[in-house]
Amino acid sequence: MREQSQARPCSRESDPGGGKVWGSPEGGSVFWRVASAHAVIVSSLILALFYYWFGIADRYAIFLYEHLGAGPFDPRTVSRYWMSGLVASGGVLVVYTYGNWLWGRIQGIRGRRYVPPEGPKVWLLSLPLIVPGVLWITTHLNWPVLPLPLAAACAVVAVVGLFLALIPARMATAQPGQFLWLAGAGAGLVPALLLLRVVERFPQGEKAVPDACAAIAATLVGALWTLALAGVYARRRGTAWRGSHLLVSGFCLSYLLLPLAHYLLLTPPTLHYITVADNFFASTVPGQALGFAAAVGLAWGAVAFQRRIAR
């Protein structure tokens, strides 16, 4: 006698390719237990990294105290404190996305369908754990402890980064092909987000001019790359992405994955340290706004291009 499934009807949401993602039940005790378990896992990873960086590790190494004369509360050192939230979120991005994808493949071999809970819901359940945890760690452990405003900045950056980090897992698990297309296209937004900001240094000497020109050229190359992938995808699939999904891809690569890669791969093997914010963010609001505006415009243009081809 065949065993009948007792699962509840699954909710649906449109994917960037116009299809449907069938997920876990979006209500009831089973869903909330699963989402809560995911929240505990990602919160534990964030807090474990903060505990290591602020409570156990040598701060002279992690935050480069005395490097070029920087003290514990030098502006560059302060930026390393809150950048740790993005590096920790980058770790969640890699571990959580890959872990859910792998579990989905294992369940597929067993003839079962697995889709993780929606990222925003897991994120909401994580807040009561991460915010007080980061505040306590940074204001109580090691020396010097952080003042409350700076500790709060670390917590805010960590939860913002975590929000981005949790989004890709659902698509990577249910639709890995769509995930790879968007990851590749999002790479074209990275020059706009990370390099175009050097235009703000135009008045600061001769070297600023070639740097700005190189940044503009890289942004144009990235735009062509994104538009090329968008066109090929629309031609093959006859549909368009969502602009928000393309932007999330660019943000995750630029502000989560690359800071993590810097920490793990671009520092000496015996001296892994958190990068300064100047390596990823503009020093002025207009400079940062320029990069964001260029990325938004490129994402909107790529989706409009896809829709035109699809029609």
At 162-220, the pLDDT tens digits run 999 999 999 999 999 999 999 999 999 999 999 988 877 666 655 667 778 889 999 99
Look at residue 46 in the predicted model and tell me its pLDDT: 98
Look at residue 202 in the predicted model and tell me its pLDDT: 63
Look at residue 83 in the predicted model and tell me its pLDDT: 97
- Rounded average pLDDT over 285-305: 94
pLDDT at 307 over 90: yes
Look at residue 255 in the predicted model and tell me its pLDDT: 97
Structure tokens at 258: 């690359």
pLDDT band at 24 (very low <50, low <70, confident <90, very high): very low
pLDDT at 279 over 80: yes
- Rounded average pLDDT over 123-152: 96
CA 177 to chain centre: 19
Radius of gyration of the CA atoms of the chain, in A: 21
User: What pTM, to 2 d.p., does this model score?
Assistant: 0.88
Look at residue 306 in the predicted model and tell me its pLDDT: 94
Look at residue 151 in the predicted model and tell me its pLDDT: 97
The domain spans of the chain are 21-174, 176-311
Look at residue 21 in the predicted model and tell me its pLDDT: 38
Look at residue 310 in the predicted model and tell me its pLDDT: 84
Please, what is the average pLDDT of the chain? Answer: 88
pLDDT at 132 over 50: yes
Look at residue 182 in the predicted model and tell me its pLDDT: 96
DSSP state of 112: -
Look at residue 269 in the predicted model and tell me its pLDDT: 82
Look at residue 206 in the predicted model and tell me its pLDDT: 55
pLDDT at 135 over 50: yes
Q: 129, 102, 100, 95: which is closest to 24 by C-alpha?
A: 100
- Rounded average pLDDT over 262-275: 90
- Rounded average pLDDT over 35-63: 95
Look at residue 212 in the predicted model and tell me its pLDDT: 82
pLDDT band at 8 (very low <50, low <70, confident <90, very high): very low
Look at residue 126 in the predicted model and tell me its pLDDT: 97
Residue pair 15/21 in contact (Cβ under 8 Å)? The answer is: yes
Contacts of 130 (CB under 8 A, 6+ apart): 43, 46, 47, 155, 158, 159, 162
At 46-59, the pLDDT tens digits run 999 999 999 999 98
pLDDT at 77 over 60: yes
* Residue of higher predicted confidence among 284 and 261: 261
At 78-120, the pLDDT tens digits run 999 999 999 999 999 999 999 999 999 999 999 888 989 999 9
Q: 266, 75, 265, 259: which is closest to 157 by C-alpha?
A: 259
Q: 165, 155, 162: which is closest to 132 by C-alpha?
A: 155
**C-alpha to C-alpha distances, 284 to 18, 79, 198, nearest whole angstrom:** 38, 14, 10
Which region holds residue 124: left if phi is over 0, alpha if psi is between -120 and 50, else beta? alpha
Look at residue 242 in the predicted model and tell me its pLDDT: 93
Q: 301, 257, 303, 102: which is closest to 164 by C-alpha?
A: 257
Residue 277 buriedness (CB in 10 A; 0-12 / 13-18 / 19+): buried
Look at residue 28 in the predicted model and tell me its pLDDT: 61
